[in-house]
Homo-oligomer: A and B are copies of this chain.
Amino acid sequence: MTNRTPTIADVAEQAEVSTATVSRCLNLPDKVKPEVRERISKAIQQLGYVPSGAARALASRRTHTIGAIVPTIDNAIFSEAIQHLQSGLTRANYTLLLANSGYSLDEELREVNSLLSRGIDGIVLVGEMHHPKVYDAIKKHAIPYVNLWTYNAQSKYSCIGFDHLKAGQQLAEHLLDLGHTEFGIISGFQENNDRALLRFQGIQQTLKNVGLEIPESKIIECRYSVEQANKSLHELLDRHPETTAVSCGNDVLAIGALSAARERSLKVPEQLSITGFDNMELTRFLSPALTTINSPSKRMGEHAAEYILEQIQNKSTELKRIELTAELVIRETTGKVPSKT
Contacts and interface: CB of A to CB of B under 8 A. Distances in A.
Given A117-B50, A285-B227, A79 B73 contact: yes
Contacts of A281: 225-227
A43 B117 CA distance: 17
A58 interface: yes
A73 B82 contact: yes
Interface stretch (A15-23, A178-186, A187-195, A254-262): A254-262
Contacts of A95: 97, 99, 114, 118
A73 B256 CA distance: 22
Contact of A226 (B5, B230, B285): B285
Interface in A246-282: 252, 255-256, 258-259, 262, 281-282
Nearest to A111: B90
A82 B113 CA distance: 21
Interface residues of A, number: 51
Interface in A152-172: none
Contacts of A5: 140-141
Contacts of A118: 53-54, 65, 95
The DSSP consensus for interface residues of chain A is helix
A72 interface: yes
A80 B76 CA distance: 11
Contact of A140 (B48, B74, B113, B259): B48
A52 B48 contact: no
Interface string A57-99: 1100001010000001111100110110010000000011111
A117 B225 contact: no
A52 B113 CA distance: 12
B230 A255 contact: no
A287 interface: yes
Interface string A96-139: 11111000000000000110111100000000000000000000
Contacts of A29: none
